Amino acid sequence: MRTRTRWLTATAAAAVMTLALAIHAGSAGAESNGGVRVMPLGDSITEGTQVPGGYRIGLWQRCTGNGYRVDFVGSQFNGPSSLGDHDHEGHPGWRIDQIDANVVGWLNTYQPHTVLLHIGTNDVLQNFNLSTAPSRLSTLIDHITNTVPTAEVFVAQITPLSNTSQDAAARTFNSAIPGIVQSKVNAGKHVHLVDMHSALTAADLTDGIHPTATGYDKMAATWFTALRSVAGSIGNPTTSSDLLANGNIEAGTSGWSIFGGGGLAANTAVVHGGANSLLRTGRTASWNGPSEDLTSKVTNGKSYTTSVWMRTQTGTPTGKVSVAITANGTTNYVVLAQGPVNSSGWTLLTGTATVSWMGTLSSARFYVETTSGTDNFYIDDASMQ
């Protein structure tokens, strides 16, 4: 069990408000999947104050949902179950100099291939020697590139602040970063600029400093775009014949949608493999289930082998995996696999079937259902290939 200590930072006024107010995480037990090591590095915006996990949630989901295998690394640990890897190096309240005093040790311990650096907000909030903040940032980047010289280092211009004078100071600090980054590039370093300030507005902040869930997701999208622009920074996407984008549910509900009535959620309490399963609740008909759109993926006349692990919360219905094919205005249903399921353990539904149609395909929807009843159920580790 991980033991974490919480520190509460009092604030007297917006002008001296410290970017903390949340969890100071203790040492983490590292989660590793053998993927490309990525170190999220910074302050509470990296940690995810107000929204635990912060941008790391959306970034993880984008990486895994697009076939990239990444391993977040760092001494800190937090975030929800929808974040498949909770490790990071985000330290609430810390300034550039505080990160710099520790970074060499972290880098030597975790040996990241990629570093995501978002730091400087606390220097602005604490009005800490702002005229030399760019110089401190430059030194920090040098310590990173000297310690892990082959790493790809992404340096963000810090996110906006609601307070007008503080945001003006942030903009002044940000204006120095492109030149700093370019000087490192000219020296042959693997350093890249990320404009995070323009990605958000004050409306994306929950307390004038920290992003809302939507704001953090905008950060995730910006990081992901930057990472994909640099070959190898998060490896290469795996190629697979599997039609399901998130069959192992490790990216939460990403790729899945509700077919019929009820709810759909990632679940961590009952899983077949990995960290998540998918829980379907509130069904109003037997055909209601979780689904994925395969319209652009299926091949006419091809035989597919399908596997889905299924388990109910209660009840012993017959589980069924189907694909609804709509062509020329007519919908036909192909049963891919079926069998009895129960609440005491996981059952593998598997089968091989040919999917074909006449005319022009307009929709192909993969979904899991029951032959009767409306029992809540879980699915996990699904594939169709």
pLDDT along the chain (385 residues), means of 10: 28 32 41 85 97 92 81 94 88 98 98 98 98 98 98 98 98 98 98 97 97 93 93 82 88 93 93 89 96 91 89 96 94 95 92 89 95 96 89
271 and 213 both lie in a single domain: no
Q: Which residue has the tokens 């970063």?
A: 177
Neighbours of 98 (CB within 10 A): 15
For position 302, what pLDDT does the model report?
Answer: 86
**CATH code at 277?**
2.60.120.260
222 and 263 both lie in a single domain: no
For position 16, what pLDDT does the model report?
Answer: 32
The three-state (H, E, C) secondary structure of 118-156, written as one string: ECCHHHHHCCCCHHHHHHHHHHHHHHHHHHCCCCEEEEE
269 and 153 both lie in a single domain: no
142 and 20 both lie in a single domain: yes
170 and 282 both lie in a single domain: no
pTM attached to this predicted model: 0.62
For position 111, what pLDDT does the model report?
Answer: 96
What is the 8-class DSSP label of residue 238?
P
Report if residue 240 sits inside a domain: no
90 and 178 both lie in a single domain: yes
In a 13 Å sphere around the CA of 67, the CA atoms on its Cβ side amount to 11
288-307 confidence digits (pLDDT tens): 999 999 998 888 888 888 98
Neighbours of 32 (CB within 10 A): 11
Report if residue 92 sits inside a domain: yes
What is the residue range of 366's domain? 257-384
Report if residue 243 sits inside a domain: no
Q: Tell me the residue type at 137.
A: L
For position 156, what pLDDT does the model report?
Answer: 98
